[in-house]
Amino acid sequence: MYFIGITGGVGTGKSEVMHILEEREDTRVLLADEVAHLLMQKGQPCYKQIIKEFPDPQLLAEDGEFDRIQMAQWLFRDENGRTRINQIVHPAVKEYVLHQVETEREKGKLNFFFFEAALLIEEQYDAICDELWYIDTDDTIRRSRLKASRGYSDEKISQIFASQKSREEFSAVCKEIITNNGTTDELKNQIYNVLRRKIHE
């Protein structure tokens, strides 16, 4: 079973790639954001640690769970808080993912296990994944997607692009480059061709 990390800049269509992959019976997918949300739910270790260090009632909804909007706004404002939350959550996410990978390897029923995260390289997943894939999309297409889906301005998009790794930095670490400039069918065919090659390697 291949353990493969999926990464790429904002607006490249990583979610679209994961949707295509999860349709396959021989594949399991996990998303970093979903795992982090799970581990920050009430009663989970990350929840307890964050509440202990940041006992701010404004971060909580009426049911005691974290208010995701309030949390996002706070993390955007408070760099120290964001750093500390990441120090708590990121190692827990990695531990959870590795446990899931080992469980699937023991079952022996899958060919592929994919994990998607924006900060895959920064969190050194290249050291634990069998390989990384980079989703590459023309910047003009990325801009159009971000304007349509999130309502971002050109200025905000440019700031985000500048803060993320370049194509060259991604390509230097990632074994496969998936180009997402066309239709969903074209993307699916490209992915499936790579997977067929992997199965026969």
Residue 106 assigned to a binding site: no
Residue 27 assigned to a binding site: no
Residue 153 assigned to a binding site: no
Residue 56 lies in a domain: no
Question: What is the pLDDT confidence band of residue 200, given thresholds at 50, 70 and 90?
Answer: confident
Residue 11 assigned to a binding site: yes
**Digit-coded pLDDT (tens) for 164-178:** 889 999 999 999 999
Residue 50 lies in a domain: no
Residue 147 lies in a domain: yes
CATH code (residue 193): 3.40.50.300
pLDDT at position 59: 87
C-alpha–C-alpha distance, residues 145 and 10, integer Å: 10
Residue 43 assigned to a binding site: no
Residue 108 assigned to a binding site: no
pLDDT at position 12: 93
Tokens 């067929």 belong to 196
Residue 67 lies in a domain: no
* pTM confidence score: 0.90
Residue 164 lies in a domain: yes
Q: Is the pLDDT of residue 4 over 90?
A: yes
Structural element, H or E, at residue 86: helix 79-107
Residue 61 lies in a domain: no
pLDDT at position 8: 94
Domain that holds residue 133: 1-26+111-201
User: How many domains are there within the chain?
Assistant: 1
Q: Is the pLDDT of residue 78 over 90?
A: no
Residue 68 lies in a domain: no
Question: What is the pLDDT confidence band of residue 5, given thresholds at 50, 70 and 90?
Answer: very high
Residue 179 near residue 190, CB atoms below 8 Å = yes
